[in-house]
Amino acid sequence: MKPFAYERPVTAADAVAALAAGGSTARYLGGGTNLVDLMKLGVDQPDHLVDVSRLSRATIDETHDGGLLIGGGVLNSQLAADPIVRARYPVLARALLSGASGQLRNQATVAGNLLQRTRCSYFQDISKPCNKRRPGSGCPARDGHHRELAILGHSASCLATHPSDMAVAMTVLDARIRLLGTDGPREIPLAELYRLPGDQPDRETQLDPGDLITAIELPPLTAAHSDYRKVRDRASFAFALVSVAALLDVADGHVRESRIAFGGIAPIPWRARRAERVLRGAPATPESFARAAAAELDLARPLPDNAFKVTLAANLLVETLVDLAQR
Amino acid sequence: MRGLRRLPLPLLRSPANVELQVRVNGEPRSLLVDTRITLLDLLREQLGLTGAKKGCDHGQCGACTVLVDGLRINSCLALAVAHQAADIVTVEGLADDDDLHPLQAAFIDRDALQCGYCTPGQLCSAAGMLAHEADRPSFVTSDLAGPPGPLDAAEIRERMSGNLCRCGAYVNIVAAIADVAR
């Protein structure tokens, strides 16, 4: 591993200043569960780490309107165990608990979870070309190993999927991200955080260099039922082949509101707006749910070894909605 | 070493050494560490505590699990410098002198190991899980809002999924943990 300087500022403002002073090879260090691994692999080679894992305000607080404000340094395990998250945002608790292992959830922060990198095997292997890691070097996945990779939102230059479970749940919760940058604080919807790869897969977010995620805000949730389901190659401690986060509000047998996002099948947490439009006002039946799934997955452009994800995603969405409609 | 304590901290230019104060198995330790060293390598190489094992070194096998401030973590992905003032317990610190930790006794009683390589990580992981996480839901808990109730085999398997055993001693590992969870 390349030598690096380490510092641990006390405030978020000091952290932003320290990162700016460190230049383009400085990185924020949260729990380190992804960054330290990438440094061992040689995928990332920072020469300056600014440790933000113990900044003040790593707390979970209710907002005045009944929502939740989650500090960026809150641990994944801490958020999953929070009584309010468990009672009011079950989709988020379930997504967090489906991610990684007990040990990793005790290390990883929620801000770091949002900004973790793809686990595409080519991205993580510095002996291989990868347009995300080395722009212009090529993508061997299309003709190579792509079973786990994207069926939606990908481009000719990149097939990587976003690995987070938590971000998929936060997408249907319409979370907002509070940032601190060199120009001061600002706030953006989570839906605007991530970028599709296009011909610049190395640019994954809308963040400016030095932006620090200080908190995530969840708006209050209505009476809708919500859940997170995940299909993977083994029963636990594996990334999603396909996952679904869904909220469903049914009145008189009809869908009043639905919010749906897929994980494991796209470069970003994939909000299924087409499916949501099909469901608005529709009878809350398996037939409607199947029509909604088909409308969204009509956009899918699978490759030979991940075509199974189209069927899997449709079935998983229908099953999740059927279950939510019965509650 | 004494002179180095007066260097301006925490920022030192590369190659960087940082003074680290930690507690390991109850003993205060003051160390000069390379910023690159993981907690696992610090324990094994600098402190001679070889109980925590380096299996995959990528956070995928759990053999390096130790307790930091009571929480089980993968020490292979933890930078030592990021753990200033941490209270660390390794498998060497689980027993109370000659009195085995209940989990250690249960692992012997249930024959919960074959080669034993994963056992220190299994023990620390189970100890952290039972002490700090037993009252929280897991992915397989049906009612997330309420207390999870007694940990059955399905709950123990889910909660211990971060610890792999290549010998496949899982059946007896689950039985041993269930004995202590009761």
* pLDDT tens column, B33-52: 999 999 999 999 999 999 99
Q: How high is the pLDDT of residue B15?
A: 54
The C-alpha angle with vertex B64 and arms to B116 and B158, in degrees rounded to 5, equals 80
Q: Do B73 and A103 touch (CB under 8 A)?
A: yes
* Cβ–Cβ gap A103/B62 under 8 Å: yes
Q: How many CB atoms lie within 10 A of CB A281?
A: 11
Contact A3 B136 (CB under 8 A): no
- Is the pLDDT at B9 greater than 80, yes or no? no
Instruction: For the beta carbon of residue B30, count every other beta carbon within 10 angstroms.
Output: 11
Cα–Cα dist A42/B42, whole Å: 21
Please report the pLDDT score of residue B13 as a whole number: 45
pLDDT band at residue B2 under the 50/70/90 scheme: very low
Note the pLDDT tens digit of each residue in A205-242.
999 999 999 999 999 987 789 999 999 999 999 999 99
Residue A43: other Cβ atoms inside 10 A? 18
User: Cβ–Cβ of B10/A98 closer than 8 Å?
Assistant: no
Of A24 and B100, the one with more pLDDT: B100
- Chain B contact for A14, CB < 8 A? no
What pLDDT does A237 receive? Answer: 98
pLDDT confidence of residue A54: 87
**Alpha-carbon span A160 to A133, nearest angstrom:** 11
Reduced to 3 states (helix: H, G, I; strand: E, B; else coil), residue B67 is strand
pLDDT, tens only, B115-158: 999 999 999 999 999 999 999 999 999 999 998 889 999 999 99
| Interface contact flag, B35 A47, Cβ < 8 Å | no
Instruction: Pick from B79, B123, B133, B142 the residue to mutate for testing the A interface (most A CBs within 10 Å).
Output: B79
Q: How many residues does chain A have?
A: 327
d(CA B34, CA B20): 10
Spans in chain A with pLDDT lower than 50? none
Contact A5 B16 (CB under 8 A): yes
What's the whole-model pTM score? 0.96
A86 in contact with B, Cβ within 8 Å: yes
Q: Which among B11, B34, B162 has the least Cβ separation from residue A104?
A: B162
Query: In A236-285, at which residue ranges do the beta strands (DSSP E only) sit?
Result: 242-251, 254-263, 270-271
Closest by Cβ to A6, choosing from B16, B72, B138: B16
pLDDT of residue B16: 79
Q: For residues A175 and A190, is the Cβ–Cβ distance under 8 A?
A: yes
Residue B10: is its pLDDT beyond 70? no
In this complex, is the C-beta atom of A94 within 8 Å of any C-beta atom belonging to chain B? Answer: yes
Q: What's the pLDDT at B113?
A: 98
- Backbone torsion region of residue A234, taken as left when φ is above 0, otherwise alpha when ψ lies between -120 and 50, otherwise beta: beta
B158 touching A, CB under 8 A?
Answer: yes
Which of B161, B164, B177 is the best mutation test for A, with the most CBs of A within 10 A? B161
Residues of chain A found within 8 Å of residue B15, distances taken between Cβ atoms: 3
Inter-chain contact A103–B161, Cβ cutoff 8 Å? no
User: In whole angstroms, what is the distance from residue A271 CA to residue A263 CA?
Assistant: 9
What is the pLDDT at residue B4? 46
How does A89-126 read in b/e, with b if 16+ C-beta sit within 10 Å? bbbbbbbbbbbbbbbbbbbbbbbbbbbbbbebbbbbee
Nearest CA in chain B to A98: B139
Quick one: pLDDT at residue B1?
42
Q: Is B24 helix (H, G, I), strand (E, B) or coil?
A: strand
d(CA B154, CA B152): 6
Minimum mean pLDDT range among A35-39, B4-8, B99-103: B4-8
Task: Give the 3-state secondary structure of residue A48.
Answer: strand
Contact check, Cβ <8 Å, B38/A36: yes
> Is pLDDT at B7 greater than 70 in this prediction?
no
Q: Does A125 touch chain B (CB under 8 A)?
A: no
What is the helix (H) or strand (E) element at residue B81, kind and residue range? Answer: none
Cross-strand bridge partners of residue B17: B34
Mode of pairing for the β-strands spanning B65-68 and B87-89: antiparallel
Over 50: is that where the pLDDT of B168 sits?
A: yes
